[in-house]
Structure 1
């Protein structure tokens, strides 16, 4: 992963005793003349007659050995206009979040930046740029990081670059590019995606999220052996993983949220059996099917999100021997059987979402050992038996608890019990809380949401309830009387 060392906040320290080159000072002043600076970002640029040292200007960083301007940070703050001038030794250029920046019909002004390593034009409108923008960027052979997030790039623009010829000689492979972010545009074709991937075989970071890519996942992605971050969320991809994904041994983040993948989850994870460095996996809202595989080989996994799929069968604790797991969300699937023992995650698990499945039977008291747990969601299952303080005794960080719509589950907590946590929300409708009003709620001083309707409470509502919770933003009152 590329480490970016240029930070505007450190400009003065970086430029101490550095004098900029006269030709580069002139280039910066020409640039200032071309820009609309509504917020005075460039007010330090050459305002004083004696201010010859452009290395002290805001947003400008110089090399303390060569005196060349090597970084220019004009991120945000209302900069607009056209960019001209050649700073040939510039390595870092950030023009992101300048919505009104006027880009000429092409990006030819970049061609003189032979040393450029970092380019961020995110949120700059490139819709009017001609088809040569891609050729210009592909010829920046020293480029290591390219961010073009939400630039209005469309398929019409991209496809006009080289017709239908993917291996265009003008897009020769660069060995430098490591980070490629083209997220939140309107790209949608496989040839375009291949053309982007042909930039470099050493890419480690890809974010193509929130585009319109459809069809099957490209086999060529699996040949990027340095890939550690792959985000293709919010597209229309279908099918399952190509066989080449078995090569992705350096993968740490895998995000296919909000797609239409419909393969066998078990087989897809088998293809990734060599990706043992994975830390984040997200398949939220797809159509994956089949049983839950043994995930224990991914011992560094921190987040596993599988909600809104069609996974079924049991969820076995032995398949979740993940000592670093912080988030497990398998809600809105078709899992059945007992809720698994997750004590192997007891030192790390913060969020556990098992709601909207078909889990049944009694709930293991081992859940009370998940001492880091903040959110516990077990609603809309078929749980039964007793839920007591034994399930909660060590959950000192618990904030949100959902037991709702388990009609055979009885919540039986001693009136004298002093919970170690302070809840923000409690969902328990359609469970058995009664017949007495749950006195332990009197000690919950931070509740903002309480759902206790249809819980067989036959008691009067105590005065402390109205005193404690009169400021609720959302409340479902129990079906009982107010004394």
Structure 2
């Protein structure tokens, strides 16, 4: 084999290695999700465990191999760059029960929609105020009860807040506020709905 042939084969080999690297890089860039972390998956499963899901809306949520990536679960959306859960969209899913405090593990959450479900008069969890990246929060007509937690004042990035309920809802004045001292901190709000909230 001549020196020229050896150089030619080296060039072909280098080209193949470069091509393989390029393919892997492009696949990684086009991948809709890197894959959620074990910590976030466990938090979501704990959240599911506290719910009654008669309509099997959360059927895709599981520990099985085919369901292990929570970024692929219904209603769960992850960042393309980090793989962290950034959106939980579970409005109008006929879910009942309570919200597990383990949900606070989703610290990159920007969007939370639990509207039109049935949380059986339980209070809006104060730990929702720990989601410092939250921009959208919709808990309307979800049959929450009790006082609106003042910890919502920590949601300084919030742009959309809906805590409204149907005036002919489950029970009268299910959500109330003793004061609205927490509201001025939400200076970025563009949408606010407190319809049927008892502000007396």
- Of 148, 153, 157 in structure 2, the residue corresponding to residue 142 of structure 1 is 157
- Of 176, 195, 198 in structure 1, the residue corresponding to residue 188 of structure 2 is 176
Tell me how far apart the structure 1 counterparts of residues 80 and 151 of structure 2 sit (CA, whole Å): 29
Aligned to 1:31: 47
**Please, which runs of 5 or more residues in structure 1 have no aligned partner?**
1-13, 190-483
Tell me how far apart the structure 2 counterparts of residues 90 and 54 of structure 1 sit (CA, whole Å): 14
SS in 2 for 1:111: helix
Question: Quick check: 2:139–2:164 contact (8 Å CA) kept in 1?
Answer: yes
Q: Cα deviations across residues 428-460 of structure 1 (Å, max 9, x unaligned)?
A: xxxxxxxxxxxxxxxxxxxxxxxxxxxxxxxxx
- TM-score when normalising by structure 1: 0.31
2:92 counterpart of 1:73: no
Question: Quick check: 2:76–2:88 contact (8 Å CA) kept in 1?
Answer: yes
Q: Structure 1 pair 50/91, CA: closer, same or farther in 2 (3 Å)?
A: same
Question: Quick check: 1:15–1:61 contact (8 Å CA) kept in 2?
Answer: no
Tell me how far apart the structure 1 counterparts of residues 56 and 175 of structure 2 sit (CA, whole Å): 37
2:131 counterpart of 1:113: yes
Deviation for aligned residue 1:48: 1.9
Deviation for aligned residue 1:80: 0.8
Q: Cα deviations across residues 81-113 of structure 1 (Å, max 9, x unaligned)?
A: 111221111111111111x22353352131221
Tell me how far apart the structure 1 counterparts of residues 59 and 174 of structure 2 sit (CA, whole Å): 39
Question: Quick check: 2:153–2:186 contact (8 Å CA) kept in 1?
Answer: yes
Tell me how far apart the structure 2 counterparts of residues 69 and 155 of structure 1 sit (CA, whole Å): 30
Considering fraction of residues, name the structure with more helix: 2
Looking at both structures, which has the greater relative contact order when contacts are Cα pairs under 8 Å and sequence separation is at least 6? 2
Larger radius of gyration: 1
Aligned to 1:224: none
- Of 10, 32, 37 in structure 2, the residue corresponding to residue 16 of structure 1 is 32
- Of 45, 59, 76 in structure 1, the residue corresponding to residue 75 of structure 2 is 59
Tell me how far apart the structure 1 counterparts of residues 174 and 59 of structure 2 sit (CA, whole Å): 39
Question: Quick check: 2:154–2:185 contact (8 Å CA) kept in 1?
Answer: no
2:107 counterpart of 1:88: yes
Aligned to 1:123: 141
SS in 2 for 1:146: strand
Tell me how far apart the structure 2 counterparts of residues 143 and 135 of structure 1 sit (CA, whole Å): 14
Q: Cα deviations across residues 52-80 of structure 1 (Å, max 9, x unaligned)?
A: 21000010000000111000111112101
CA-based RMSD:
2.6
The residue correspondences of 1:188-267 to structure 2 (distance < 5 A) are none
Tell me how far apart the structure 2 counterparts of residues 125 and 48 of structure 1 sit (CA, whole Å): 32
- After the TM superposition, which parts of structure 1 deviate over 3 Å for at least 4 consecutive aligned residues? 102-106, 151-156, 186-189
Tell me how far apart the structure 2 counterparts of residues 38 and 156 of structure 1 sit (CA, whole Å): 26
Tell me how far apart the structure 2 counterparts of residues 120 and 55 of structure 1 sit (CA, whole Å): 21
Deviation for aligned residue 1:173: 2.8
- TM-score when normalising by structure 2: 0.71
The count of corresponding residues between Structure 1 and Structure 2 is 164
Considering fraction of residues, name the structure with more strand: 1
Tell me how far apart the structure 2 counterparts of residues 31 and 15 of structure 1 sit (CA, whole Å): 27
